[in-house]
Amino acid sequence: MELGESENISGKMEAPDPVHKPLDVLLEGYLWKKHQKNKLWKGWHKRYFVLRDRRLLYYRSEKESKGGGRPRGLVTLGANSTVDFVRGDTKDNKSKREIHKFMVLVPPTGMISLGGLSLSEAEKWVEQLKKTIAGLKTEGSIKGEEESSDSDDEEVIVSRAPSAMGFEPCVDKIGKKKL
């Protein structure tokens, strides 16, 4: 199921909602992801990454991504996220391949270690991720200013909207209410 499509109660696909359009892909391609949790599966694994809005999704393959498969993982970037190259050796001792490593920190949930096979590929991802995070910081400061000046005048409704990952919170402002 693509972002923006929804499934009705009977399980049939519905047309995308014109109000909630699918998010544009900012960048996509193969990267190496370091497995963090399990000692059995430690090491670098090739995954297909898709950056949409503030979501960094990864799949086992491009085919899985394009075929509507479920992502293997999702990293939601925030205004306090950071992306930086990892200094030091670019050689992966196990596979002997050169990986240009960078790390995405997403407080408080954690981090993900990624790498590109070429320096230019890694730089392209780091640049786009930093640009996305900078946009979130700008968006957050503008929202913060609006909320501090108008917080008593707005009625905010929190609803749940369908997404590719299930349901997630969606905030809609429905006009100003003078008190």
For the question of whether the overall pTM of this predicted structure is more than 0.75, the answer is no
Q: What is the pLDDT of residues 64-109, one digit of tens each?
A: 999 988 999 999 999 999 999 988 767 666 667 788 999 999 998 7
What's the Cα-to-Cα distance from 173 to each of 116, 124, 144, 149, rounded to whole Å? 41, 35, 14, 15
Q: What percent of the chain has pLDDT over 90?
A: 44
pLDDT for 29: 97
DSSP, residue by residue, 58-117: EES-HHHHHTTPPPSEEEE--TT-EEEEPPS--B-TTT--B-EEEEEEETTTEEEEEEES
Higher pLDDT, 77 or 163: 77
pLDDT for 157: 28
What percent helix, strand, coil does the chain show, rounded to 5? 20, 40, 35
> What's the CA gap between 165 and 135, in Å, rounded?
23
pLDDT for 131: 96
Domain 6-151 coded CATH 3.40.50.720: no
What residue type is 7 in one-letter code?
A: E
Tell me the sheet residues that pair with 160: 169
> What's the CA gap between 21 and 109, in Å, rounded?
28
Domain extents in the chain: 6-151
Q: How far, rounded to the nearest angstrom, does the alpha carbon of residue 36 sit from its chain's CA centroid?
A: 18
Please answer whether residues 77 and 136 qualify as being in contact, where contact means their C-beta atoms are separated by less than 8 angstroms.
yes
Q: End-to-end CA distance of the chain, in Å? A: 43
pLDDT for 36: 74
Could you identify the residue written with the tokens 């003078």? 178
Q: What angle do CA 38, 66, 52 make, to 5 degrees?
A: 75
For 11, phi then psi, to 5°, come to: 90, 0
pLDDT for 46: 94
> What's the CA gap between 94 and 89, in Å, rounded?
13
pLDDT for 42: 73
